[in-house]
Chain A
């Protein structure tokens, strides 16, 4: 197996909450808690989970928009930000990000051309060449350069703005694109257009995607592999078909069965889970899902389960005591939760 393009190990980020007269840290939001995963060159890794599970923090940590408390991001064999590795500045030339809010991620005072050409100019491309690239990219994302190059963000629709954001992200000719809920704010008919565009661009430029979304249908459509997060932890990761067809973590299973039915004759009868996800400030002990898990036992409260491979070649890994033989859970076996 080739070395992964992106290797993440032990990534951790806690956000302190200050309070009291002395402004001491009174609590911590455990946003991302020892997360490990790899992204192979050319694949799309989907990251799913509910709000507060740490998907966006993970994306920002990958880009070094925020510094991790510990852990490492290794890009193409070089550790990001370390002395022997790759500098953050150089990594960002090769990895770019598209955000959910297409309006606030563009400078309102800069016409589209300026926004797209800005990055290449910062990274040393001449003004004329950068402008030519901006025109090229606009055409690539399906906007006529003659019509759009002078427009300001407020003169564009949401779908058009998101296309501009994608063009801007591509302006540095990156290898990896991190898409953080990039299509979530769009209407369905526009979402389909942008998804088609992303798939075309991926093929044309040999891109690798990290695709973050709460929409499980979209993630299934775009991803090769899927990572499921719950309260800062990876609960399950694997090939998209393995995850969607035989989810082994009780949370993955609940999340999938919470998707609204598309069949009027087969509506959902009972909610798979009760209550809301707990607060990531002081998350539950042991397995963080044990407070909502229908299979929880004593061991789940006491001990956090490790992520273990349950299929050959890393096709599926799950962090659940039921998937670890001899873990102390009465239903434990090597395969995990029975289908």
Chain B
């Protein structure tokens, strides 16, 4: 499987270059804000996000619906509707994504940055076979012939462990089972050996026994190909299985980031704690769950202070005044909460 990675544009450069590259993050985001503007309202979906992603790292963005996790990820490819207003800095592999021309963006999408989605049936064109769609991507971005594209598609199907690949290449999306479709979509995303793979809840629609297969496949491919991955999910268990680093989003901000071990073992932000506690896992039957009261704020009118303050048991007057600054509670674990130090474990 490794020779596939080597046969194509070098994913792993020489040792010296690799060492230099690791110092420089692949993705650097500062002060990202995304607002959706319509005549009735302006919804501030992402409200000031900063993060770095190292080469070969898996960052999982964990959040509930409306937290801005998918919008943050799509902003990296500027894959947002016209009415979205972006602010801030985004650089991917040293390029300023905010300044790219439409044609440069098209070159980047699929080649340097690829994305997989929750619903592969929507990601594929229903009237072309999956093999043809992968070959087309290879032709478009790598200047190869159709025959070479199809050969690459065949290799990719081996890579994502699709049984009887030759037959499956000729299949149309609706002819594949859910798990196979998801594998085919991963093959499509990997067609040009992207440096960055964006995964938007790719296992959410799958059955339990299939979900774990896809998660393990992604983990294996990420290791073998040395890609960076940003993985968006609402499921703590899925995040724990796949992440190196975890970023918890709430109301358009990353409220806590750190290694998956630190965040899961010793969560510091009251929201992270609440989320982990309200997740039914090993809770004894009959015992009440410690649910977080209330619901997330309306982002067409985001609160002035900490967005979690109205639901937070530890909130003080200061929480309502200004958005909390980032605090490093432990090495590499950053929390946006002025009560992070005071909070009992």
Contact = CB atoms under 8 A, between A and B. Distances in A.
A112 B292 CA distance: 25
B129 interface: no
A290 to B, nearest CB: 15
A188 interface: yes
Given A240-B285, A258-B209, A277-B207, A192 B280 contact: yes
A3 interface: no
Given A192-B292, A196-B288, A268-B216, A262 B209 contact: no
Contacts of A109: none
B240 A267 contact: yes
A265 B261 CA distance: 8
A276 B180 contact: yes
Contacts of B236: 188, 262
B235 A276 contact: no
B283 A221 contact: yes
A264 B292 contact: no
A271 B212 contact: yes
Nearest to A263: B240
Contacts of B241: 260-261, 267-268
Interface stretch (A62-70, A211-219, A306-314): A211-219
Interface in B69-124: none
Contacts of B293: 193
A262 B267 CA distance: 14
B278 interface: yes
B245 to A, nearest CB: 11
Interface residues of B, number: 45
B167 interface: no
Contacts of A220: 280, 285
A130 to B, nearest CB: 29
Contacts of B234: 187-188
- Residue among B65, B208, B240, B283 having the largest count of chain A Cβ atoms under 10 Å: B208
A273 interface: yes
A255 B208 contact: yes
- Residue among B64, B207, B215 having the largest count of chain A Cβ atoms under 10 Å: B207
B238 interface: yes
Contacts of B281: 217, 262
Contacts of B265: 264
Contact of A187 (B64, B209, B288): B64
Interface string B23-67: 000000000000000000000000000000000000000001100
Given A271-B213, A276-B178, A189 B208 contact: no
A215 B275 CA distance: 17
Interface string A172-215: 00000000000000011111110110010000000000000011
SS class, residues of chain A in contact with chain B: loop
A187 B295 CA distance: 10
Contacts of A51: 207
Contacts of A269: 216
A131 B177 CA distance: 48
- Residue among A192, A269, A277 having the largest count of chain B Cβ atoms under 10 Å: A192
Interface residues of A, number: 46
B274 to A, nearest CB: 7
A319 B281 CA distance: 28
Interface in B224-253: 234-238, 240-241, 243
B208 A258 contact: yes
Given A188-B64, A260-B240, A260-B241, A195 B280 contact: yes
Nearest to B180: A276
B285 A192 contact: no
A122 interface: no
A259 interface: yes
B291 interface: yes
B291 A276 contact: no
A16 B21 CA distance: 59
A216 B178 CA distance: 20
A188 B278 contact: yes
B344 interface: no
Contacts of B178: 276
B264 interface: yes
A192 B216 contact: no
Nearest to A183: B280
A275 B281 CA distance: 27
B1 interface: no
A222 interface: yes
B240 to A, nearest CB: 5
Contacts of B283: 221
25 contacts: A50-B207, A50-B210, A188-B64, A188-B234, A188-B279, A189-B274, A189-B278, A189-B292, A193-B291, A195-B291, A214-B207, A216-B208, A258-B209, A260-B237, A260-B240, A261-B237, A261-B240, A261-B241, A263-B264, A268-B241, A270-B216, A273-B213, A274-B213, A276-B178, A277-B210
Lowest 8 CB-CB distances: which A-B pairs, in order? A260-B237, A192-B278, A192-B291, A50-B207, A187-B64, A189-B292, A276-B177, A192-B289
Given A50-B210, A159-B295, A187-B64, 20 more contacts: A188-B64, A188-B236, A189-B274, A189-B278, A195-B289, A195-B291, A217-B279, A217-B280, A217-B281, A221-B280, A221-B283, A222-B285, A258-B208, A258-B212, A261-B240, A264-B240, A267-B240, A271-B209, A271-B213, A277-B207
